[in-house]
Chain A
Amino acid sequence: MLTDITIGQFFPGSSPLHRMDPRVKLVVIFAYIVLIFIPHNWWGLLLCVAYLLAGVLLSGLPFRLIFRSIKPILPLIVITTLLNVFYISGGQTLVQWQFIHITTGGVGNAVFIAVRIVALIIGSSLLTYTTSPTTLTDALERLMSPLNLLHVNVHEISMMMTIALRFIPTLIEETDKIMSAQKTRGADLESGGLVQRVKALVPVLIPLFVSAFRRACDLATAMECRCYRGGEGRTRMKQLHMRRSDFVFLGSAVVLCAALITLNILLPSSLI
């Protein structure tokens, strides 16, 4: 049910990917998400997939877990694939029946784009799976620290993210509870058209909001009790240090980028 959601979940471990400097991880994975859109031929795409596979192996996480991250966006993948198969034509014709016209080019494009989306999702979930939320927001805070010059309060933004990530599972659990409570009172959450279903959610959302505000109030008190006073003069238990392996990892991303561009220049595009 709702508890299957793995967004922002962290699986503790001590693999090379877990121990990597979170700033490097953040930069490399962000770069990867951009890089995945560079290749225009199969060899380039293959290289991207191989790079990701190396990352997955380095993370030491079971493949089952990795695939679970794709599940929520499966419908999206299916829809884009179908659209590509039916609407893009080029190359040899495979099927020709009334208005349906499927070509090798269309199928090629569909597979290409599906692989891109899957790689993109797996890449970004590798980040959250192997980095604890606090470390992640800590890294973000440091990477964004130049924004302090523009009077953006980076610390507050990262604290909000930490808290949001902390409360996602708690609020999901609470939603489940409220839904059961409303069902026992006869609420019908699972039938009717779209409008009716959205309306049926109101008695779930209102108690959820009320309780979220109450929690926020409690949490603010608890934070004050623990001497929280913003980012000034705050230290961190976990210091971030760049190690040699981190530079290697950064370098590998640069190499990947160069290789993809070279492949694009040398080989003809496989996309239509």
Chain B
Amino acid sequence: MELLKAEHLSFQYENPDELPIPVLGDVSLTVAQGDFVAVLGHNGSGKSTLAKHFNAMLLPTGGSVWVGEWNTADEEHVYDVRRTVGMVLQNPDNQLVSTIVEEDVAFGPENLGVEPSEIACRVNEALKLVDMLPYRDHAAHKLSGGQKQRVAIAGVLAMHPDCLVLDEPTAMLDPKGRREVMDTIRRLNRERGMTVVLITHYMEEAAEADRVVVMDDGAIIMDGTPREVFAQVERLRSVQLDVPQPTELCHQLRLAGVPLPADVLTVEDAVEALAAVWEGTV
């Protein structure tokens, strides 16, 4: 079943005095329930703008965006849309509202008018899902970046969304925090069937998704499994994107004449492929 659907979506920023600035042009994309989609693109490719359309933070200037059966332009359902599509932003510091972890997680359900006893249950459950339960009465500003970002994810989960849209959630974190957040996201997708749309510019993160969508200049230029997408090394280069290191290594070797497959993605893949070549030559 499709959960998110953008139909011929275009968007431009109004620019008084001058021509409007186009950001998205004719983007069509559907995301099915339970999918883990990574959206890749360099700065200014329109990937964050696309993300903001999925929870009605921005409304299309052309085409339409659907969340389940709701059109995001329909004002009546704007909070249904935002509750269904939980959004996590880049800076972990700037999205926590309350000083204490559990009170921050409660903020979403409180806004939705959920019963107090039910809120307490949801807060517990959400903190457990991101492995932050022991920190429930800690001060939010004293946590590490990765922990803060997990609290932010819990704050969204407490609204019981069907889908998480994460806008570069790891961009401001150290490697450890990045790992924590990625593990949490992947676990939510695998174990809970949570639909995930991950906006990122880290290739390694995109490689963990089931599907990769590459954007450039406000349009989708590639869409497929990580293997399919990363096999096209030159094409990715042309839109200023890198490929994961193992893919890069095998690509270089292939150019040098070593017979390697094009769809190498992980270190394990690379080891296997190289071992096969080694056995073939000896």
A162-B97, A166-B98, A229-B111 as given contacts; A237 in contact with B120, CB under 8 Å: yes
A133-B98, A219-B95, A237-B116 as given contacts; A226 in contact with B156, CB under 8 Å: yes
The contact string, 1 if C-beta is below 8 Å from chain B, for chain A 202-230, is: 00000000000011001101111111110
C-alpha gap A226/B138 in the complex (Å)? 21
C-alpha gap A267/B50 in the complex (Å)? 76
C-alpha gap A226/B78 in the complex (Å)? 11
Q: A214, A221, A238: which contacts B57 (Cβ < 8 A)? A: A221
| CB-CB contacts below 8 Å: A224-248 with B | 224-229, 233-239
Q: B91, B95, B159: which contacts A227 (Cβ < 8 A)? A: B159
- Quick check: is B106 within 8 A (CB to CB) of the other chain? yes
C-alpha gap A271/B148 in the complex (Å)? 54
A10-B139, A215-B93, A221-B57 as given contacts; A238 in contact with B116, CB under 8 Å: yes
- Quick check: is B260 within 8 A (CB to CB) of the other chain? no
The smallest beta-carbon distance between B266 and chain A, in angstroms, is 33
A234 close to B79 (CB less than 8 A): no
- With both beta carbons as reference points, the residue of chain A lying nearest to B85 in the complex is identified as A225
- Quick check: is A187 within 8 A (CB to CB) of the other chain? no
Q: A166, A214, A236: which contacts B110 (Cβ < 8 A)? A: A236
Q: A134, A218, A224: which contacts B100 (Cβ < 8 A)? A: A134
Residues of B within 8 A of A134 (CB): 98-100, 103
| CB-CB contacts below 8 Å: B77-122 with A | 79, 82-83, 86-87, 89, 91, 93-100, 102-103, 106-116, 119-120
B159 close to A235 (CB less than 8 A): no
- Quick check: is A73 within 8 A (CB to CB) of the other chain? no
- Quick check: is A163 within 8 A (CB to CB) of the other chain? yes
A227 close to B94 (CB less than 8 A): no
C-alpha gap A221/B95 in the complex (Å)? 8
Chain B: interface residue total (CB-CB under 8 A): 42
The smallest beta-carbon distance between B166 and chain A, in angstroms, is 11
Residues of A within 8 A of B138 (CB): 12
- Quick check: is A92 within 8 A (CB to CB) of the other chain? no
- Quick check: is A132 within 8 A (CB to CB) of the other chain? yes
Residues of A within 8 A of B95 (CB): 218-219, 222, 225
Residues of A within 8 A of B155 (CB): 226
C-alpha gap A234/B57 in the complex (Å)? 21
B113 close to A233 (CB less than 8 A): yes
B99 close to A219 (CB less than 8 A): no
B89 close to A237 (CB less than 8 A): no
Q: B55, B96, B123: which contacts A237 (Cβ < 8 A)? A: B123
- Quick check: is B174 within 8 A (CB to CB) of the other chain? no
- Quick check: is B140 within 8 A (CB to CB) of the other chain? yes
- Quick check: is A165 within 8 A (CB to CB) of the other chain? yes
- With both beta carbons as reference points, the residue of chain A lying nearest to B122 in the complex is identified as A237
Q: A132, A170, A214, A226: which contacts B108 (Cβ < 8 A)? A: A226
A227 close to B100 (CB less than 8 A): no
The smallest beta-carbon distance between A222 and chain B, in angstroms, is 4
B97 close to A222 (CB less than 8 A): yes
A10-B139, A218-B91, A219-B94 as given contacts; A227 in contact with B112, CB under 8 Å: yes
- Quick check: is A16 within 8 A (CB to CB) of the other chain? no
- Quick check: is A55 within 8 A (CB to CB) of the other chain? no
B87 close to A237 (CB less than 8 A): no
The smallest beta-carbon distance between B251 and chain A, in angstroms, is 38
- Quick check: is B128 within 8 A (CB to CB) of the other chain? no
B119 close to A235 (CB less than 8 A): yes
B87 close to A219 (CB less than 8 A): no
4 closest A-B pairs (Cβ-Cβ)?
A222-B95, A218-B94, A237-B106, A237-B119
**What are 19 contact pairs spanning A and B, CB under 8 A?**
A10-B100, A12-B137, A133-B100, A134-B98, A166-B98, A166-B140, A214-B94, A222-B94, A224-B57, A227-B83, A228-B107, A234-B113, A235-B110, A235-B113, A235-B119, A236-B119, A237-B102, A237-B120, A237-B123
* Residues of B that sit less than 8 Å from A by CB: 55, 57, 79, 82-83, 86-87, 89, 91, 93-100, 102-103, 106-116, 119-120, 123, 137-141, 152, 155-156, 159
* Contacts A222-B95, A226-B97, A237-B103 supplied; 8 other A-B pairs, CB < 8 Å: A166-B99, A214-B94, A222-B89, A225-B87, A227-B79, A235-B116, A235-B119, A238-B116
